[in-house]
């Protein structure tokens, strides 16, 4: 991937790990601009609910919480790219997703994760049709739904009984 792969004006270079999450040092922030941290996102997604969700998660950190998040693309609705070689073009995801686990600051994170005090969020956002003004809360799903979509198993270090409870809960805050 190169910046030229995004020369077509249809898609933003959507950050997997947002630049705003890595402001503690110049090298840390610069790393967020590597092409391996990018996925094609519709501007209405990237600059709308996706960005709003990232800002919301940063506000939770500023309130004294630790946040673990996983982000990615899924699906393939085509490609973009400067090269004419199909295998070297950038795949456009059908959906973008995030899974977030939120716990109060402290130590021994796995032991502090509980079915009562641990909050989890999952979102799945269309990368085909979306309104930039759509609230990110409209895209909330369970972590189980993201696992089903992606095939990943999140939060597997947490005891199974707790993991099962928190992953099937759909956030309502």
CATH number for the domain harbouring residue 19: 3.40.570.10
When pLDDT is averaged across residues 63-83 and rounded to a whole number, the result is: 90
Q: Picking from 72-76, 129-133, 147-151, which range would have the lowest pLDDT averaged per residue?
A: 129-133
Catalytic residue among 1, 14, 15, 22: 15
- Mean residue pLDDT across the chain: 90
Q: Which domain holds residue 139?
A: 3-167
Domain presence at residue 93: yes
Domain presence at residue 91: yes
Domain presence at residue 154: yes
Report pLDDT for 129: 86
Domain count, the chain: 1
Domain presence at residue 172: no
15 is catalytic: yes
pLDDT band at 105 (very low <50, low <70, confident <90, very high): confident
Give the ranges where 11-150 is alpha helix by DSSP (H): 26-31, 43-46, 49-62, 109-112, 143-150
Domain presence at residue 49: yes
When pLDDT is averaged across residues 50-79 and rounded to a whole number, the result is: 94
CA proximity to 51, closest of 130, 150, 168, 169: 130
Domain presence at residue 153: yes
When pLDDT is averaged across residues 60-81 and rounded to a whole number, the result is: 92
What percent of the chain clears pLDDT 90, i.e. is strictly above it? 62
Flag whether pLDDT at 86 surpasses 70. Answer: no
Flag whether pLDDT at 112 surpasses 90. Answer: no
- 27's CB contacts (< 8 A; 6+ apart) are none
pLDDT band at 122 (very low <50, low <70, confident <90, very high): very high
Flag whether pLDDT at 61 surpasses 90. Answer: yes
Domain presence at residue 32: yes
What is each CA distance from 80 to 108, 118, 165, in whole angstroms?
43, 39, 40
Domain presence at residue 28: yes
Q: Which residue has the higher pLDDT, 122 or 90?
A: 122
> What is the pTM assigned to this prediction?
0.89
Flag whether pLDDT at 54 surpasses 80. Answer: yes
Radius of gyration of the chain (CA): 17
Give the ranges where 23-126 is alpha helix by DSSP (H): 26-31, 43-46, 49-62, 109-112
Within the chain, how many helices (H) and strands (E) appear? Answer: 6, 8
Flag whether pLDDT at 10 surpasses 90. Answer: no
What is each CA distance from 157 to 21, 71, 93, 111, 137, in whole angstroms?
24, 18, 28, 10, 27
Alpha-carbon distance of 4 to 133, in angstroms, equals 28
């Amino acid at each position: 991937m190169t910046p030229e792969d995004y020369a077509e004006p249809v898609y933003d270079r959507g950050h997997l790990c947002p630049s705003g999450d890595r402001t503690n040092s110049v090298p840390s922030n610069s790393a967020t601009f590597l092409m391996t941290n990018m996925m094609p996102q519709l501007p209405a997604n990237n600059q709308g609910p996706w960005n709003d969700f990232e800002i919301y998660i940063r506000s939770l950190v500023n309130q004294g919480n630790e946040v673990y998040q996983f982000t990615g693309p899924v699906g393939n609705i085509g490609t973009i790219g400067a090269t004419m070689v199909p295998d070297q073009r950038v795949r456009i995801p059908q959906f973008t997703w995030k899974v977030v686990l939120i716990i109060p600051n402290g130590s021994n994170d796995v032991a502090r994760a509980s079915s009562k005090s641990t909050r989890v969020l999952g979102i799945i956002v269309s990368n085909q049709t979306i309104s930039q003004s759509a609230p990110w809360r409209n895209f909330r799903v369970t972590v189980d739904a993201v696992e089903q979509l992606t095939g990943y198993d999140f939060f597997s270090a947490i005891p199974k009984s707790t993991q099962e409870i928190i992953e099937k809960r759909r956030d309502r805050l």
